[in-house]
Each structure stands twice: as C-alpha cells, then as structure tokens.
C-alpha cells in the first residue's frame, strides 16, 4: 500500500504538461519575521495627534490584512491540490514521510 501511495505521488509530482514547471508547491513568499517587521513598521508612533494616529492605525490595519498569512500560505498546482483532496491517505503518507525525514 505504501508503494502504491509513493507511485501515485510520483505520478502527480512528475506531470510533464503542468504549467507549474514541475514544482507543485512554491514556498511562502515571506518569513514570519518579515511579516512582523512589515506590520510593526505601520504601528502608530508615540506623540502623534489624534488625526495622524487614526491614519496610522488604519494603515497598520491594512498592512495586517495585506501581509497576514504570507508566511504560511504556499501557492500550489491545482492538479496536485485536487489529488490531495481526493485521497486523504495520500496526505497522511506525505506527512509521515516528512516526519521520518526530519
């Protein structure tokens, strides 16, 4: 059964016609520290008047919406995601292989 799962994963990952150029999953575009730094840059500075503080808070809120999740989301090939959704045993096997390799 494990070998069947490996063969299925290899078939999915080696799809030669894929527009993703054989990289089914791309890494996150930012690290957690980069996200925190971007959000912290928009924090209101002490001593601002009420109007400027409100604008800085709104800017911080927009930054949080813009950068939230950039450290944990990974763009992935739609075919690969579809296969993962179809077969939860495949997900479990991939997780197991990742745990064993660490």
Handedness of CA 87, 93, 95, 101 (dihedral sign): negative
CA angle, 52 then 55 then 58, to 5°: 150
Q: Is the pLDDT of residue 92 over 70?
A: yes
DSSP assigned state of 43: S
Euclidean distance between CA atoms 96 and 16, whole angstroms: 26
Which of 48, 45, 46, 42 lies closest to 65, judged by CA?
42
pLDDT digits (tens, 9 = 90+) for 64-90: 777 887 777 778 887 778 878 887 888
Question: Do 12 and 83 form a contact (C-beta atoms < 8 A)?
Answer: yes
Tell if the pTM clears 0.75, that is, is over it.
Answer: no
pLDDT digits (tens, 9 = 90+) for 14-63: 566 666 666 777 777 888 888 888 877 777 677 777 777 777 778 878 87
Euclidean distance between CA atoms 79 and 68, whole angstroms: 26
């Amino acid at each position: 059964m494990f070998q069947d799962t490996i063969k299925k994963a290899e078939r999915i990952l080696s799809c030669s016609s894929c527009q993703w150029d054989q990289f089914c999953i791309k890494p996150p575009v930012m690290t957690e520290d980069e996200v925190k730094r971007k959000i912290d840059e928009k924090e209101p500075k002490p001593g601002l008047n009420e109007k400027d503080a409100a604008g800085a808070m709104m800017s911080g809120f927009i930054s949080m919406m813009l950068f939230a999740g950039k450290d944990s989301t990974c763009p992935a090939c739609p075919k690969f995601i579809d296969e993962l959704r179809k077969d939860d045993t495949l997900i479990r096997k991939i997780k197991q292989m990742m745990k064993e390799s660490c």
